[in-house]
Amino acid sequence: MSMIRILYRDFDRAPYLYTLQATAKRRGLELVLTKAELGGRFPEFLLEGTTDFLAENYWQLQALCAKGQPLVSVATAVSNLNEKLFVHPSIAKIGDLRGKKLAIRGVGPSQLIPGLWLEDHGLEGEVEPVVVSEDEVGRWGQWKKVVTGECHGTFVTNFYQDEPRRAGLRELAAEPYGFIGNVTLTTLESFTAGRREDVQKLVEAAFDASRLFKHDPAAAMEICMGEPAKLLKLDGRAAMERIYEILRGELSERPIPTPEGIANTRRMAVPRMAELRDFNPLVMWDLSFARATLARSATQ
């Protein structure tokens, strides 16, 4: 059985990744999943041969591709932003945020995507973004500034939404917003060239994993209650079911990026990464494996 090594960053990726491992095994491909150390160096892991694929950090890897690094992405599990807008009770609609402050997390894409979202909703320059340090409010605790009235809105990732709801904030309904999240499978061009058959199996397994995770809860939970539950240090099945339902809701039907997701992820990063200004991110994607998967399924 052939083997592919995949490196990931956070244990909350484990439920999907171990589902991918299970579906890959059915196709004769062994996946070795390894959690990267904190502060891990991307894409040095690839360039130095520590791993075959990264499941992380597409938003930064695109800038390295723009600089000439031979990176290629072949599939992504999530193509919409997995953060929701929570607002002060006095805010009834998006336009009510005009003249108000938006608390933002000063970490990675969470610092960059709110500005683009405001621009696309006609609020550029009319809402003041305020970076709130997690040293002050705790992990994803920017909502506390909305409770006090210092700000009137904030984006909160799906895993951390229970507390702001209990505190009286409410989710403001909005259309899904394209963003390439996790898990995005990225490797070197030389790997896809030299191991095409194995990469094809990996992408086919990604289609299988998305379908199973999305539409077969019993089978997915059986996988999740194994290694993922141990890695996440969860207290019982109910805790795992909560995480599974959140991840299931985020997951795309197919592991193919959307045009909006690719475009927004680039647009978001341009102010910080000037090399992306003249870069077409489509050149980083090799969807020939996905096309082959779709063609085969159409004839079955």
Domain boundary assignment for the chain:
2-79+180-299, 83-171
Return per-residue pLDDT of the chain as tens, 300 residues. Answer: 899 999 999 999 999 999 999 999 999 999 999 998 766 677 788 889 999 999 988 999 999 999 999 999 999 999 999 999 999 999 999 999 999 999 999 998 999 999 999 999 999 999 999 999 999 999 999 999 999 999 999 999 999 999 999 999 999 999 999 999 889 999 999 999 999 999 999 999 999 999 999 999 999 999 999 999 999 999 899 999 999 999 999 999 999 999 999 999 999 999 999 999 999 999 999 999 999 999 998 887
Distances 218 to 34, 80, 211, 241, 300 between C-alpha atoms, Å: 25, 25, 13, 10, 25
* Cα–Cα distance measured from residue 141 to residue 104, given in angstroms and rounded to the nearest whole number: 10
Tell the CATH topology of 83-171. D-Maltodextrin-Binding Protein; domain 2 (3.40.190)
* Cα–Cα distance measured from residue 282 to residue 53, given in angstroms and rounded to the nearest whole number: 19
Give the burial string for 128-156 (b: 16+ CB within 10 Å, else e): eeeebeeeebeebbbbbbbbeeebbbbbb
**Tokens 């990464």 belong to which residue?**
273
Tokens found for residue 71? 């990176």
What's the alpha-carbon Rg for the chain, to the nearest Å? 20
Are 102 and 130 in contact by the 8 Å Cβ rule? The answer is yes
* Cα–Cα distance measured from residue 24 to residue 120, given in angstroms and rounded to the nearest whole number: 39
CATH number (1.10.287.1080, 3.40.50.620, 2.60.120.960, 3.40.190.10) of 2-79+180-299 reads 3.40.190.10
Percentages of the chain per state (helix, strand, coil), in multiples of 5: 50, 15, 35
Which among 105, 143, 107, 103 is positioned nearest to 9, based on CA atoms?
107
Domains 2-79+180-299 and 83-171 fall in the same CATH topology: yes
